[in-house]
Amino acid sequence: MPLPYTGRCLCDATRYRVTEEPLTVYACHCTDCQKRSGSAFGLSMWVNRSAIELAALWRDRP
């Protein structure tokens, strides 16, 4: 997948951009990750702090 990686939370209040390859990517099968993802596992990745840019897009809610 080409860099940068971008994403957002479901409500679109926070967006992120990753500018370097992750240090590691892993699947966690704990109960909390299963509940959060609605799946048998949750995927996560570790990145260098300098490689991530966060933007909060605060909006008024109806």
Cα-based distances in Å from 13 to 27, 32, 43, 49: 25, 22, 21, 20
Whether residue 17 contacts residue 52, with contact meaning beta carbons closer than 8 Å, is answered with yes
Q: pLDDT of 33-59, one tens digit each?
A: 999 999 999 999 999 999 999 988 766
β-strand partners of 53: 17
Break the chain into its structural domains and give their ranges.
5-56
Q: Which of 21, 27, 26, 14 is nearest to 47 (CA)?
A: 21
Structure pTM? 0.68
Element (H, E) at 28: strand 24-28
